[in-house]
Amino acid sequence: MFAVLLVLIIVASSLYASQDTYVDISYGSSPAQQLDIFLPDGFEAPYPVIISIHGGGWCGGDKTGPDTEIAKAGLKRGYAVVAVNYRLSGEAIAPAQIQDVKAAIRFIRANAGKYHLDPNKLAVWGSSAGGALAALAGTSSGVQELQDLSMGYTRFSDRVQAVVDWCGPVDLATMDQQFKTSGINGEKMDVLDSYGSKYVGNRITLVPELVQLVNAANYITPDDPPFYIQHGTADTLVPYQQSTELTKKLEAVLGKDKVQLVTMPGMGHDGHGFTNPESISHVLDFLDKTLK
């Protein structure tokens, strides 16, 4: 009898979990254009949303990776978490990646009722390349050059209400000089096989217009959402100055009260300092303050 009861409990738990998790939902025609939705347990709907954008230099990574697992800490605070895949640079160069993110945002709004999501409380959270995409999504709402409306859901906005950018490479054109100035022997960007050059389809100095098209700092306006930016000072993949410069430009337009820069002294790219419970809790505190 106990064995039968145990089986019933396991089956019931599985059914309940399946109702709160939806995987590989297509928001576009490419196999890469899929997202997963995780809903919180024990909170009142509709749920504010954390949109998790994975890193990987725009040439790797996946929605099932560690970025999503970190963002899922928000489930315990009543957030739905939507993990987004996007076309990588091996399939399509920029601006395809931000076009996909924006299409996913429109899809989320279009289907908010179906999944019990609050369409007016969307946050984007990404690290590394995902952080750059999160920042770009935050500043470039409505910019037509960064949208592909043929993907649908054109009646819905691509605007987000909060941005979390962990060590994002926002301005590819300045990275090599920033490493040189700081004395850090970082990854070279202006070479053909760098992740940045793969992203824009050529050496970054040969396609300056495209490099600037995907630079979040070029679209800052006073109505942009609050930003939470975090970066390690010893990062050898993305210069720390990428975040300090973005912070200065955001503060100049949004005001210091809407921009928070968290400096991680001696920390490299991501790492335990980002993923420890205290660090994640600070991000969620920011989202609570902004969205709730």
C-alpha–C-alpha distance, residues 99 and 92, integer Å: 11
Looking at per-residue pLDDT, the higher value among 13 and 44 belongs to 44
On average, the pLDDT of the chain sits at 94
Per residue in 238-276, pLDDT (tens digit) is 999 999 999 999 999 999 999 999 999 999 997 667 899
pLDDT at 1: 38
pLDDT at 273: 77
pLDDT at 4: 35
Q: What is the DSSP letter of 263?
A: E
Q: Residue 39, SS3?
A: coil
Residue 198 has pLDDT above 50, yes or no: yes
Structurally, at CATH architecture level, domain 27-171+206-291 sits in: 3-Layer(aba) Sandwich (3.40)
Where does residue 192 rank: exposed (0-12), middle (13-18), buried (19+ CB within 10 A)?
Answer: exposed
C-alpha–C-alpha distance, residues 266 and 94, integer Å: 32
Residue 193 has pLDDT above 50, yes or no: yes
Tokens for 161, please give them: 């209400």
pLDDT confidence band for 9 (50 / 70 / 90): very low
Give me the mean pLDDT over the 160-180 stretch.
Answer: 99
Could you tell me whether strands 227-232 and 117-127 are parallel, antiparallel, or unpaired per DSSP bridges? unpaired
Per residue in 114-125, pLDDT (tens digit) is 999 999 999 999
Looking at per-residue pLDDT, the higher value among 14 and 278 belongs to 278
Q: Residue 187, SS3?
A: coil
Looking at per-residue pLDDT, the higher value among 106 and 4 belongs to 106
Residue 16 has pLDDT above 80, yes or no: no
- pTM of the predicted structure, to 2 decimals: 0.93
Residue 84 has pLDDT above 80, yes or no: yes
pLDDT at 19: 55
pLDDT at 3: 39
Residue 261: which of 276, 280, 248, 274 has the closest Cα?
Answer: 248
pLDDT at 270: 73
Q: Residues near 222 by Cβ (< 8 Å), separated by ≥ 6?
A: 253, 254
pLDDT confidence band for 159 (50 / 70 / 90): very high
